[in-house]
Structure 1
Amino acid sequence: MLPKLEPIIKEHANGGKGHLIIEPILSPKEMGDKCRLYAHVIIPKGCSMGVHQHKGDGECYYILSGRGLYTDDDKTYEMGPGDAAFCESGHFHGIENIGDEDLVIMGLIIYK
């Protein structure tokens, strides 16, 4: 069994609103040179992960609960539980909580 890692509270992540709570699942030791992040992420009501570009890696968001407005380059989509999105290297993405409860996602950043 893996040890529980300390949560990270990130204010205005990538220029977003409010804060995020990032609960890492794997440490750099387990991820090695394959991944940069594997985490359970809580985006409280009214908060967001600002739109940002990936370079040399890609990121998947998988929605566990709540409602989010996902930005994929110049398009936006509403997402809910069971939805997933992937941002390729060289592209932009972000997500905003648009619901009345926490938006809870799994985030995975893999090197490309």
Structure 2
Amino acid sequence: MIIKKTSLVTETKDNMRGGNGAPVITHVIGGEILGNKGRLYSKIVMQPGDSIGYHQHVGEQEIYYFLSGEGMVKDNEETIKIYPGDVMITPDHGYHSIENTGTEELVFMALILNADA
């Protein structure tokens, strides 16, 4: 199966999860392909100062793979600086947030899997 770039859906999420700015999400694969394994595989681009607010995942886990830029993440109660190549895993019932604290775009892939996947 090939999914052409021209068929991908991109959306802007103002103040995502109570955060600042307007992260841009390109939906690569959704639940229709992931089935009972998960619901989302997307590329997220955040401008300097953009953030995704602190939130919890219940019944699912989320994995971020950072491609470019830098930022700060809150992983439950720990705040950590992230760089390209880093991976963040938020398990079922975990909390997280992210902020682009750099001077360039922060780009990462996000995968949301069901907790039992």
TM-score (norm 2): 0.92
Residue in structure 2 matched with residue 79 of structure 1 by the alignment:
82
Q: Conserved in 1, the CA contact under 8 Å of 2:30 and 2:39?
A: no
Structure 1 residues 83-112: Cα deviation after superposition (integer angstroms, max 9, x where no partner): 001001111001000000010000000001
Residue in structure 2 matched with residue 23 of structure 1 by the alignment:
26
Structure 1 residues 29-82: Cα deviation after superposition (integer angstroms, max 9, x where no partner): 211111111001001111001110000000011100000101011110000000
The alignment of Structure 1 onto Structure 2 pairs a total of residues equal to 112
Q: Share of identical aligned residues, percent?
A: 37
Gaps (5+ residues) in structure 1?
Answer: none
Counterpart code for 1:49 = I
* SS of alignment partner, residue 33 of structure 2: helix
Q: Following TM superposition, where does structure 1 have runs of at least 4 consecutive aligned residues deviating by more than 3 angstroms? A: none
Q: In 2, Cα distance between the equivalents of 1:29 and 1:82?
A: 28
Q: In 2, Cα distance between the equivalents of 1:37 and 1:6?
A: 12
Counterpart code for 1:70 = V
Matches for 1:44-55 after TM superposition, within 5 Å: 44-55=47-58
Structure with the largest fraction of helix: 2
Residue in structure 1 matched with residue 109 of structure 2 by the alignment:
106
TM-score (norm 1): 0.96
Q: 2:65 aligned with 1:59, yes or no? A: no
Q: Give 1:28 shift.
A: 2.5
Matches for 1:2-21 after TM superposition, within 5 Å: 2-3=3-4, 4-21=7-24
Q: In 1, Cα distance between the equivalents of 2:30 and 2:113?
A: 14
2:35 pairs, out of 32, 35, 46, with 32
